[in-house]
């Protein structure tokens, strides 16, 4: 049973009632709320795309005539000099209230960040749409709680962010729920929030707080429909990363290869795209042998 509403009042009441009734009816009823249990409702847990090579599958591979073909694929990766795909880590900076307010309002208006002035108030931006105005103010309360001042809709976004002040420096309940929805509804299977964080750290050199800031930009650049595959999703992520870099005034600089001092020759460098292409070919070959 799923409750769709602002808070989980009814689902909490139902859970308490059914707790005493389940023993009598002999069945378990799962109670979910649209915000609290979003991952379970939308099945956003990452799925394994490549089956694990278990020990039970090894004898068939070792006894078959396909061993030389597999060795031909694996050997170059073993004998090749160490590969480096890291980039220079950028200094992490705390998330600012204005970043959250600006992205939250822009996302609700279904516009781009550049098209929403932080010098304007929510009231001016919604252009007389009172329902939309109330929804935005409600989202702000979900995100910041009691830190949202009275008549928030009449303040410019800059003044509103200043009134909110320090707020903990992380994504709140509302933005986290919207990100879960974005990845659950618009990204291909396996392209999860956690795997995206790994890419942002290893490929772009972004720390956790800069990753949060980039995800806010991502909300305002949400695809209109589900992306067809990882290649399309990575292209979208690259576009978001460039938009965040332009907004934050940063650039993604490659680190020195092999971990050596800057300017010295190190291990050969291969792009992350080429590395993933090689790994995909190896995985595909192994999958064919198992099947």
Residue in the structure block whose two tokens are 């042998």: 289
Q: What is the pLDDT of residue 25?
A: 58
What are 267-283's pLDDT values in tens digits?
Answer: 334 445 555 665 666 65
Give DSSP secondary structure letters for 22-71: HHHHT-----EETTTTHHHHHT-S---SS----GGGHHHHHHSTTHHHHH
Q: What is the pLDDT of residue 102?
A: 98
Q: What is the pLDDT of residue 225?
A: 95
Nearest to 154 by CA among 142, 137, 138, 141: 137
Question: What is the C-alpha separation between 62 and 251, in angstroms, rounded?
Answer: 48
Q: What is the pLDDT of residue 69?
A: 47
Q: What is the pLDDT of residue 77?
A: 45
Ranges of residues in the chain whose predicted pLDDT is under 70 = 6, 19-28, 44-87, 254-291
SS3 269: strand
Question: What is the C-alpha separation between 123 and 11, in angstroms, rounded?
Answer: 34
Q: What is the pLDDT of residue 3?
A: 82
What are 130-143's pLDDT values in tens digits?
Answer: 999 999 999 999 99
Question: What is the C-alpha separation between 133 and 139, in angstroms, rounded?
Answer: 10
Q: What is the DSSP letter of 32?
A: E
Question: What is the C-alpha separation between 142 and 140, in angstroms, rounded?
Answer: 5
DSSP E strands: which ranges in 20-92?
32-33
SS3 155: coil
What are 157-197's pLDDT values in tens digits?
Answer: 999 999 999 888 789 999 999 999 999 999 998 899 999 99
Residue in the structure block whose two tokens are 């139902």: 14
Q: What is the pLDDT of residue 76?
A: 45
């Amino acid at each position: 049973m799923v409750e769709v509403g602002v808070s989980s009042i009814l689902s909490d009441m139902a859970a308490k009632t059914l707790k005493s009734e389940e023993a009598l009816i002999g069945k378990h009823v799962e109670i979910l709320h649209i915000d609290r249990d979003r991952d379970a409702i939308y099945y956003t847990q990452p799925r394994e795309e490549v089956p694990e090579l278990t020990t039970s599958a090894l004898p068939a591979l070792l006894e078959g005539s396909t061993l030389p073909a597999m060795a031909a694929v694996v050997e170059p990766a073993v004998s090749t000099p160490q590969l480096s795909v890291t980039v220079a880590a950028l200094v992490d900076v705390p998330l600012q209230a204005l970043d959250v307010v600006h992205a939250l309002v822009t996302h609700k208006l279904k516009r781009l960040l550049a098209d929403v002035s932080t010098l304007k108030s929510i009231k001016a931006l919604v252009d007389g749409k009172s329902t939309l105005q109330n929804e935005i103010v409600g989202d702000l309360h979900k995100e910041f709680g009691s830190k949202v001042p009275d008549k928030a809709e009449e303040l410019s976004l800059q003044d509103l962010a200043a009134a909110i002040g320090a707020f903990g420096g992380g994504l709140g309940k509302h933005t986290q729920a919207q990100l879960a929805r974005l990845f659950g509804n618009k990204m291909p299977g396996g392209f999860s929030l956690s795997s995206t964080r790994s890419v942002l750290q290893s490929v772009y050199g972004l720390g956790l707080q800069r990753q949060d800031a980039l995800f806010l930009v991502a909300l305002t650049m949400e695809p209109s429909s589900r992306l067809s595959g990882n290649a399309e999703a990575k292209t979208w992520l690259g576009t978001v990363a460039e938009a965040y870099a332009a907004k934050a005034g940063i650039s993604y600089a490659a680190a020195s290869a092999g971990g050596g001092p800057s300017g010295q020759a190190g291990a050969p460098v291969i792009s992350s795209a080429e590395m993933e292409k090689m790994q995909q070919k190896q995985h595909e070959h192994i999958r064919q042998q198992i099947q």
